[in-house]
Chains A and B, each alone.
Chain A
Amino acid sequence: MPKKVHVQTTINGEAVEYLCEPRQSLLEVLRDVLHLTGAKEGCNNGNCGACSVILDGRLVNSCLVLGAELEGKSLETIEGLAEPEQLHPIQDAFLENAALQCGICTPGFIMAAKALLDQNPNPTEHEIRYWLAGNLCRCTGYDKIVRAVQDAAQTTS
């Protein structure tokens, strides 16, 4: 059996080291090795976006990245967003707009929204809807999520 890989990386601004099997996805490493359980497993095949994280500034599905690929990279997850005493404006906007019900899709939507606003602080509704097309929600019907992202854009830009 191939031996474990030793990975040195940066997660939410902090240096992190871990051992993982090459076949473990980044999602499995986050949840099972590092106990960062914010990223969720929905489909495990790239279709639902519940596992979205930001890798070297780019939105990716952590279920479609290997944990071993993280060597020397920089990762942002939902755990890194809030300050100890204050939620991130996107998190606030999701609460204010009631943009979640069961909440399983929420960390993924928030990371996807962050990646969007990082590169396009004033997106149109059309741009928001296309950007979020890879994130599925079975509760809200999406409108409230889109409105939350529009609100967050107003407060952050």
Chain B
Amino acid sequence: MRAFEYVPAKTVAEATSLLAEKGDQAKPLAGGTDLIVMVRENRRQLDRMVDIKDLPETNVLSYSPDTGLELGAAVPCHEIYADGAISAAYPGLIDAAKIIGGTAIQGRASVGGNLCNASPAADTIPPLIVLGAICVIAGPDGSTREVPAEQFCTAPGQTVLENGELLVSFKIPPPPKNSSSFYLRFIPRNEMDIAVVGAGASVVLDDAKTSIVSARISLAAVAPTPLFAEEVSDSLAGKEISDESINAAAEAAQAIASPISDMRGTAEQRTHLVGVLTRRALNGAIQRVKEA
């Protein structure tokens, strides 16, 4: 591993200026479960790692039914699913937080790192998208800007972040009445693997819980970036809950997926999985509303 400098930042302003000074030769370090491996394997060379996980702003974890969830970018998965109120409000995010690696990985891996690493197969990104998460970004000039989760990743490993910018936190709106969310993935093992395909869904149902008021669907590992199936989602609005409406959405999702073949699966298998997993994610979210 090439030598680099390690600097723990004490404030957001210090972090962004430490990053900006070195341009693309500096990277933030959160849990390190992607970054340390990448640098060790020489897939990324750096002059400086800026540790951003001891800042108050990247560690917030606060939920209220009125204002929603503020989730610091560096909060490890383990802390998120240890919180009962957050688990009840955002079950789709918890589905993903609980399957990233094993226990030791979840003690370090953050949702912010999962998003910024920008893998098309990242498990927390579809839940962030279907829950309407907004990414709060700090810049080196003291500015902040907000980007919706579905616009954050621009290519495999690439994001909207400019040199010197830091993802500080997520703002996730409070769950509407009669709503829930669900995420699942297909892997050939029971745990400790990367998604062949992943699917997340959130739904809002009417009071009778027989039809869909609105829905959001997002897919992992079937396009260069995590995919927000916007038109498919919109087409479910106002539909009665039935095999027919769910199957139609699953087929429409298959039509917009553009998977590749690689060692984890063929394009054909992935397209098939998009249908199965979209159906299960939607039905899973609907079931959770009915059981609540």
Q: CB distance B191 to A23 under 8 Å?
A: no
Q: CB distance B107 to A59 under 8 Å?
A: yes
Stretch at the interface among A30-38, A46-54, A85-93: A46-54
Q: How close is A146's CB to chain B, nearest CB, in angstroms?
A: 14
The number of chain B residues with a CB under 8 A from chain A is 30
The verdict on B216 contacting chain A, using a C-beta distance below 8 Å, is no
Question: Please, how many angstroms separate the alpha-carbon atoms of A6 and B192 in the complex?
Answer: 35
Q: CB distance A21 to B191 under 8 Å?
A: no
Stretch at the interface among A11-19, A63-71, A97-105, A147-155: A63-71
Q: Mark A1-32, 1 if CB is under 8 A from B, else 0.
A: 11001000000000000000111010000000
The verdict on B262 contacting chain A, using a C-beta distance below 8 Å, is no
Q: CB distance B108 to A60 under 8 Å?
A: yes
- Cβ contact of A46, chosen from B2, B3, B33, B51, cutoff 8 A: B33
Q: CB distance B3 to A21 under 8 Å?
A: yes
Q: CB distance A45 to B5 under 8 Å?
A: no
Question: Please, how many angstroms separate the alpha-carbon atoms of A2 and B33 in the complex?
Answer: 23
Q: CB distance A112 to B108 under 8 Å?
A: no
Q: CB distance B4 to A23 under 8 Å?
A: yes
Task: Describe A's contact surface by its main secondary structure.
Answer: mixed
Residues of A within 8 A of B171 (CB): none
Taking each of A65, A71, A133, which has the highest tally of chain B beta carbons within 10 Å of its own beta carbon? A133
Stretch at the interface among B98-106, B119-127, B154-162, B284-292: B98-106
Q: CB distance B101 to A58 under 8 Å?
A: no
Q: How close is A74's CB to chain B, nearest CB, in angstroms?
A: 14
Question: Please, how many angstroms separate the alpha-carbon atoms of A112 and B102 in the complex?
Answer: 11
Residues of A within 8 A of B73 (CB): none
- Cβ contact of A64, chosen from B3, B33, B103, cutoff 8 A: B33
Q: How close is B203's CB to chain A, nearest CB, in angstroms?
A: 28
Q: CB distance A5 to B105 under 8 Å?
A: no
The verdict on B36 contacting chain A, using a C-beta distance below 8 Å, is yes
Q: Mark A101-137, 1 if CB is under 8 A from B, else 0.
A: 0000000000010011000000000000011111100
The verdict on A61 contacting chain B, using a C-beta distance below 8 Å, is yes
Residues of A within 8 A of B37 (CB): 45-46, 64
Question: Please, how many angstroms separate the alpha-carbon atoms of A5 and B37 in the complex?
Answer: 21
- Cβ contact of A22, chosen from B4, B191, B192, cutoff 8 A: B4
The verdict on B78 contacting chain A, using a C-beta distance below 8 Å, is yes
Question: Please, how many angstroms separate the alpha-carbon atoms of A60 and B106 in the complex?
Answer: 8
Q: CB distance A134 to B105 under 8 Å?
A: yes
Q: CB distance A46 to B105 under 8 Å?
A: yes
Give B107's nearest chain A residue, CB to CB: A58
Q: Mark B164-193, 1 if CB is under 8 A from A, else 0.
A: 000000000000000000000000001110
Q: CB distance B102 to A5 under 8 Å?
A: no
- Cβ contact of A61, chosen from B2, B4, B104, B192, cutoff 8 A: B104
Q: How close is B139's CB to chain A, nearest CB, in angstroms?
A: 26
Q: CB distance A61 to B105 under 8 Å?
A: yes
Q: CB distance A58 to B78 under 8 Å?
A: yes
Chain B residues within 8 Å of A, Cβ to Cβ: 1-6, 8, 29, 31-33, 36-37, 39-41, 49, 51, 76, 78, 101-105, 107-108, 190-192
Chain A residues within 8 Å of B, Cβ to Cβ: 1-2, 5, 21-23, 25, 44-47, 49, 52, 55, 58-61, 63-66, 68-69, 71, 112, 115-116, 130-135
Going nearest first, the 10 A-B pairs with the smallest beta carbon separation are A134-B102, A22-B6, A2-B5, A58-B107, A68-B6, A133-B191, A133-B102, A23-B1, A61-B104, A59-B104
Contacts A/B (CB < 8 Å), 15 sampled: A2-B3, A22-B6, A23-B1, A25-B40, A45-B37, A46-B37, A46-B101, A46-B105, A64-B32, A64-B33, A66-B6, A66-B49, A68-B6, A134-B101, A134-B102
